[in-house]
C-alpha cells in the first residue's frame, strides 16, 4: 500500500481515475508478490482483488450476503486460515484403487484422517462391509455431510475430531490426502503409532525422507499418485 501511495504521489496524473489507482495497486501488489517469492498463483489474485471488490460494491448487494458467504466458507474450510489443509476430494478412481488395496491387505480396520465428505470412507465401507472404517474430520460442514452419507453403514465410525488426536495403533491401513505442510509431522506420528506390517497411504504428497514401498499412479484427471509406506 505504501508503495502504491508513493507511486501515486510521484505521478499525480494517475490519481485522475479510480480505475488507474486500482490498476497501480494491483500491479504494485503483484510486483511485491514476485519480490517476496510468493507462489505464482498469487499474482492473478493480487491483480484482480481490488477490481473485483469494487465491482462487487457497485452491485450493492445486501451485507448479510457477504456474512453468509464468509460463514459458509468458514464451515467448509475450518482451520485453513491457520495454514492448515483445505477441502478437496479424492476421485472415484482413487477410491477404486484403495478398495483393491484393502482387499489385498485383508484389512480389518481402515482410517481416513481428514475424511472430507467421505469420498473415500463411504465407498470403501460400502464395498467392504466387514471392514471397520473410521473417518476423522474436523470441519463442521464436511463432517455433517460425511455423517449423513454414512448413516446407514454399520461399519463406519465418524469422529468429528482433530486427526492429531487419533491413535493409529488399531488400523491395518491408514489413508490421508492432506498437504505437504503436515507430512513430516504426520510421518513421525505414523512411524510412532502404526503397528509393524501395517500400511500407510498418502495421496499426492509423499513423506519427506521416507522412501515408499510403492507408488501407484492413478488414471484420474489430477494424475493422482498414491505413496504407500509399509511400517
Ligand atoms: C484434501 S481433503 C481430503 C478429503 C478426503 N480424505 C478425500 O480424500 O476426499 C482434507 C480434509 O482434511 C480435513 N482436515 C484437515 N486438517 C484436519 C485435522 N487436523 N483434523 C481433522 N481433519 C482435518 C479438512 O477439513 C479436509 O476435509
Q: What is the pLDDT of residues 92-121, one digit of tens each?
A: 999 999 999 999 999 999 999 999 999 999
Residue 24 lies in a domain: yes
The residue whose CA has the least distance to atom 6 of ligand 1 is 115
- 31 plus 124 within the same structural domain: no
Distance 76 CA to ligand 1 centre (A): 10
Among 65-69, 186-190, 200-204, the least confident range: 65-69
**How deeply is 220 buried, as exposed, middle or buried, from its count of CB atoms within 10 A (0-12, 13-18, 19+)?**
middle
Residue 125's contacts (CB-CB under 8 Å, 6 or more residues apart) are 131, 133, 150, 153, 155, 156
Residue with CA nearest ligand 1 atom 26: 87
Q: Whose CA is nearest to atom 16 of ligand 1?
A: 85
**Per-residue pLDDT averaged across 199-211, rounded?**
96
Domain boundary (60, 83, 108) is at 60
The rounded mean pLDDT for the chain is: 90
User: Is the pLDDT score of 11 beyond 70?
Assistant: no
Query: What is the number of domains present in the chain?
Result: 2
Measured in Å, residue 160 CA sits from the centre of ligand 1 at 11
**Same domain assignment for residues 109 and 17:** no
CA 46 / ligand 1 centre spacing (Å): 27
Average pLDDT over residues 72-81: 79
Ligand 1 pocket, Cβ-based, cut-off 6 angstroms: 78-79, 84-85, 87-90, 112, 114-116, 119-120, 136-139, 142, 162-164, 177-178
pLDDT at 86 over 70: yes
Same domain, 134 and 226: yes
Residues 212 and 99 in one domain: yes
High-pLDDT (> 90) share of the chain, %: 69
Cell of 49: 482483488
Residue 123's nearest CA partner among 106, 103, 104 is 103
Choose one of 137, 182, 222 to mutate for the ligand 1 pocket test, by most ligand atoms within 8 angstroms of C-beta: 137
On whether the CB atoms of residues 97 and 175 are closer than 8 A, the answer is no
Same-domain status, 146 and 186: yes
Q: Which residue has the higher pLDDT, 12 or 158?
A: 158
In terms of domains, do 55 and 98 share one? Answer: no
H-run or E-run covering 100: helix 92-105
By alpha-carbon position, which residue is closest to atom 17 of ligand 1?
114
Q: Which domain holds residue 176?
A: 92-230
Q: Give alpha helix (H) positions in 18-91.
A: 18-35, 42-59, 63-76
Q: Are residues 118 and 215 in the same domain?
A: yes
Is 114 in the same domain as 194?
Answer: yes
Residue 75 lies in a domain: no
Amino acid at each position: 500500500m505504501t508503495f502504491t501511495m508513493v507511486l501515486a504521489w510521484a505521478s499525480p496524473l494517475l490519481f485522475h481515475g479510480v480505475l488507474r489507482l486500482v490498476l497501480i495497486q494491483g500491479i504494485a501488489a503483484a510486483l511485491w508478490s514476485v519480490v517476496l517469492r510468493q507462489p505464482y498463483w498469487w499474482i492473478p489474485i493480487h491483480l484482480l482483488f481490488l477490481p473485483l471488490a469494487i465491482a462487487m460494491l457497485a452491485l450493492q448487494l445486501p451485507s448479510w450476503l457477504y456474512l453468509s458467504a464468509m460463514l459458509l466458507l468458514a464451515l467448509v474450510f475450518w482451520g485453513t486460515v491457520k495454514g492448515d489443509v483445505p477441502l478437496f476430494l479424492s476421485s472415484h478412481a482413487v477410491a477404486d484403487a484403495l478398495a483393491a488395496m484393502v482387499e489385498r491387505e485383508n484389512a480389518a480396520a481402515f482410517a481416513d484422517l481428514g475424511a472430507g465428505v467421505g469420498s473415500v470412507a463411504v465407498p470403501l465401507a460400502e464395498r467392504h462391509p466387514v471392514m471397520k472404517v473410521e473417518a476423522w474430520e474436523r470441519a463442521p460442514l464436511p463432517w455433517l455431510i460425511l455423517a449423513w452419507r454414512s448413516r446407514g453403514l454399520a461399519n463406519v465410525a465418524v469422529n468429528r475430531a482433530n486427526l492429531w488426536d487419533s491413535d493409529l495403533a488399531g488400523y491395518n491401513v491408514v489413508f490421508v490426502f492432506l498437504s505437504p505442510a503436515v507430512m513430516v509431522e504426520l510421518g513421525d506420528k505414523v512411524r510412532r503409532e502404526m503397528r509393524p506390517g501395517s500400511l500407510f497411504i498418502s495421496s499426492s504428497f509423499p513423506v519427506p525422507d521416507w522412501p515408499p514401498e510403492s507408488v501407484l499412479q492413478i488414471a484420474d484427471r489430477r494424475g493422482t499418485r498414491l505413496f504407500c509406506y509399509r511400517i
